Structure 1
Amino acid sequence: MPRTWGRRALGRALLARQMLLERADVTAEEAITRLVGMQAQAPYAPYFGLWSRLRRFGVADLADGLNDRRLVRIALMRSTIHLVTAADCRLLRPWAQPALDRELNTAFRSALTGLDRAAVAEAGRALLSRRNLTPGELGMALNEQWPDREPRALATVVRNLTPLIQLPPRAVWGIGGATRYATAADWVGAGPDAETDGERIVLRYLAAFGPASISDVQTWAGRTRLRPVLDTLRPRLAVFRDEHGVELFDLPEAPRPDADTYAPVRFLPEYDNLLASHADRTRVISEEARKRVMTSNGMRAALLVDGEVAGTWKLHPGRKSTVLEIDPFRPLTAVQRAEVEAEGGRLLEFAAPGANHHVRSWDGWRT
């Protein structure tokens, strides 16, 4: 019978893969590759995600990658914006197409009824070949050809049927700017790979997020019917079960630390894939905490204590000082509070070097 894995052991395995048990001595580009991209609809979130995972990381490591086109921001898994390498953009974009199609067929179903989507996508590509456009500009330009359709829906058709890069200075630290599109073919010099290598992608997912069930893989990808891929890979994988009897797959040689392995305090940014890439997320976040982190307005930045989400955090920058505000979900010990304050101080030095810093709890430390 397959070995049974408890929730805490699964959490330690996930944290090890995510470089959150011990910061890794790799480059930003290598880390983004290892993570199979980073969710990035909050433009600066990946900076904090990389800082929490790498021994040596400066904002220029990511900003320079965006500016020189080694790194790109594009809609991928779950039809959400991800930061990936140019090579992974070409690999993952075809894999993400079912999720992008689903968004069009659900959120925009009524707005697109009877519309020739392929014609809209082709018109959008023609417009973007002439100049880079914001989503609003793209939608309005398309609306001239389809005046009876919503501009936002038209722009989304192009976004979801044509690989579009969100261009810098969007997400460049300290500069930023509006979302502005170019086609991936124009920006990185090549279109998506002709065929999707599903087995390779699933193996990379397991390396970054395993052990995982079929439902976990499908949740991360934002697509269904992946059982045949796992069945093909089964002879090459280790197979376990969780406490509820759900079958889990993993790479045989992947790290699976002991359940009692020390897990340091870590600050996760908004929309971190650690919390978005499993059907069963209880390995790192309780159901009660999930409801407080994942709200109708998005996913809040999360505080990890002893390997689990124990609160949220937010930076409040000012002209002369920056405050790190922490909202703990449960009582923390004196040792844990001290570790949160120390790691929070380091986060403030990264985010606002040279400013006056303060770490405060939203409603006071609870003991």
Structure 2
Amino acid sequence: MTVLGTRALGRATLARQLLLDRADLPVLDAVTHLGGLQAQEPQEPFVGLWSRLRAFDPATLSALLTGRAVVRTHLMRRTVHLLGADDVLAWRARHDAMLRQRVLGTYRRELAGTDLDELAAAGRAVMADGEPRSMGELARAVAERWPQPGPRPLGEMLVAALLPTAQLPPRGLWRTKAGVRYAMLSSWLGREIDPPSADPADPVGQALVRRYLAAYGPAASADLRAWCGLAGLPAAVAALRGELVTFRDERGRELLDLPDAPRPDPDTPAPVRFLPAFDNAVLGYHDRTRIIDDAHRGLSVAGTRVVLLDGRVAATWTAEADTVHVTPLRPFTRADRDAVTEQGQALASFLSEHGRRRVRIASSR
């Protein structure tokens, strides 16, 4: 079985994530291809798409959100994602059990003895009038019946697990700050969620596997599980075996992939890319060494924005007013500094309301 080294896997990730060459895709097609964008920090998806698409206009993503073609919702790993409306409706029921377990993992003591089916029914009754509500408003509406857990556990269980909800605009619009208000997905989109499938071959899981490999492969089952939070999708993987190709990584793990998906030469040049907090390219794997050193793995879960240099995390960045500040994680050559400065100036111009382009790079460590 062919062994793919770390560099080969990194180049494959860049190609699938639209980071090796910026794509000419429409914004909705890019969101769909990526299987969604992690979005608990509302402005970060705009940087993620700017780094991936040529001539990205943030107003287009805002229009997709207000037009209900893209939705902010809890899904993969119980985190907030931007997803295409069709994907949300197709995938939501497949994630129900995982979402419940994730919230219970945080609030098991507080929610002990609570009948979650009864809580879900009460929450649906409150939301039946179609009026948007904050998590606190929804929790207070059912708190008289369930006073013990407290509003936070009740609210999170309702909006992140029991009730398929959307976070409504203006939350998540470009350069907009707004609180979180929820509506039922079916009400917001005007369509019902696809019902759970009883097929043991798990057709929804198969669709998730294909979509994951298209945007993240080659990857192991553990990587798939790390991306979606579901338990490895064994029935789906088994059903797809005949149409997949397999490799090994340097640790001996089996890697699955689509036969015609891009796997660039490991020596393919990789441009500088600025990634937002919690970017898919980093968080979409259990083994993240293809893109970030183990010594810096903690950055990926701390909401730190990172800079890719030659396809790997080599610096962190922040933005202040019209200036992008870069802190190297390793020594930069002059060529490194020039390349990071050029791309940082483009990012500063994108982020600045006045189009200014300033970059400051700290001394290399």
TM-score with structure 2 setting the length: 0.95
Contiguous gaps of at least 5 residues in structure 2: 198-203
Task: For 2:315 and 2:269, locate their aligned partners in 1 and report how far apart those are by CA, in whole Å.
Answer: 19
- Report the secondary structure of 1:359's partner residue: strand
Aligned to 2:300: 294
TM-superposed deviation, 1:40: 0.4
Aligned to 2:175: 174
Aligned to 2:156: 156
Residues 54-96 of structure 1: CA deviation (Å, up to 9, x unaligned) = 0121111100001111110000010000101110111121232
Name the aligned partner's letter for residue 193 of structure 1. Answer: D
Task: For 1:26 and 1:201, locate their aligned partners in 2 and report how far apart those are by CA, in whole Å.
Answer: 21
Aligned to 1:201: 208
The answer on 1:186 being equivalent to 2:187 is yes
- Report the secondary structure of 1:207's partner residue: helix
TM-superposed deviation, 1:109: 0.7
Name the aligned partner's letter for residue 136 of structure 1. Answer: G
Task: For 1:148 and 1:215, locate their aligned partners in 2 and report how far apart those are by CA, in whole Å.
Answer: 37
Name the aligned partner's letter for residue 194 of structure 1. Answer: P
TM-superposed deviation, 1:227: 2.5
TM-superposed deviation, 1:294: 3.2
Task: For 2:174 and 2:103, locate their aligned partners in 1 and report how far apart those are by CA, in whole Å.
Answer: 32
Structure 1 runs (4+) deviating above 3 angstroms are none
Aligned to 2:85: 86
Q: How does 1:4-15 map to 2 (within 5 A)?
A: 4-15=3-14
Aligned to 2:360: 360
- Report the secondary structure of 1:271's partner residue: coil
User: For 1:221, which of 224, 228, 233 is the aligned residue?
Assistant: 228
For this pair of structures, how many residues does the alignment match?
357
Task: For 1:3 and 1:221, locate their aligned partners in 2 and report how far apart those are by CA, in whole Å.
Answer: 27
Kept in 2: contact 1:238–1:251 (CA 8 A): yes
Name the aligned partner's letter for residue 37 of structure 2. Answer: M
Name the aligned partner's letter for residue 109 of structure 1. Answer: R
Aligned to 1:339: 339
The answer on 1:272 being equivalent to 2:294 is no
Q: How does 1:1-367 map to 2 (within 5 A)?
A: 2-130=1-129, 131-159=131-159, 160-195=161-196, 197-291=204-298, 293-294=299-300, 298-317=302-321, 322-361=322-361, 364-366=362-364
Kept in 2: contact 1:142–1:155 (CA 8 A): no
Kept in 1: contact 2:221–2:232 (CA 8 A): no
TM-score with structure 1 setting the length: 0.94
Name the aligned partner's letter for residue 294 of structure 1. Answer: S
Kept in 2: contact 1:211–1:248 (CA 8 A): yes
- Report the secondary structure of 2:172's partner residue: coil
Name the aligned partner's letter for residue 365 of structure 1. Answer: S
- Report the secondary structure of 1:112's partner residue: coil
Task: For 2:158 and 2:281, locate their aligned partners in 1 and report how far apart those are by CA, in whole Å.
Answer: 29
- Indicate the larger mover: 135-144 or 173-182: 135-144
Contiguous gaps of at least 5 residues in structure 1: none
- Pair 62,274 (structure 1): closer, same or farther in 2 beyond 3 Å: same
Task: For 1:129 and 1:209, locate their aligned partners in 2 and report how far apart those are by CA, in whole Å.
Answer: 38
